[in-house]
Amino acid sequence: MNKLLVVTVLVAVFALSAESLHVPRQAEEEQGTLTQIADKVRSFYDSTINTASGYIEGIKGLKLEEKAKNIYDDTTSAVNTYVGILHDQLYHIFYSQQ
């Protein structure tokens, strides 16, 4: 009988202390739908920026900028050569008659 009384008192004390720790739901209800959506979008944006920054740091280690610059330089020199040849051909086609 004493054990039952002790357990009952402990459960009652635990229930009362748990109820005092209860957070009112008004704090959640005060946050509107737009605020929740804005928070979700902000967290998604932050995670996207962090992921992109990580990728950029990884790419910088591969020295792709230097490789892209070299490819651009080689391509422009080849294109300039062929444009010069085409220019000469067109010049001789149109002005060779004179």
pLDDT averaged over the chain? 79
Model-level pTM greater than 0.85? no
Q: Is 61 helix (H, G, I), strand (E, B) or coil?
A: coil
**pLDDT tens string 6-33:** 777 667 766 666 555 555 555 555 677 8
Q: Is 97 helix (H, G, I), strand (E, B) or coil?
A: coil
For residue 18, the surrounding DSSP H or E stretch is: helix 2-20
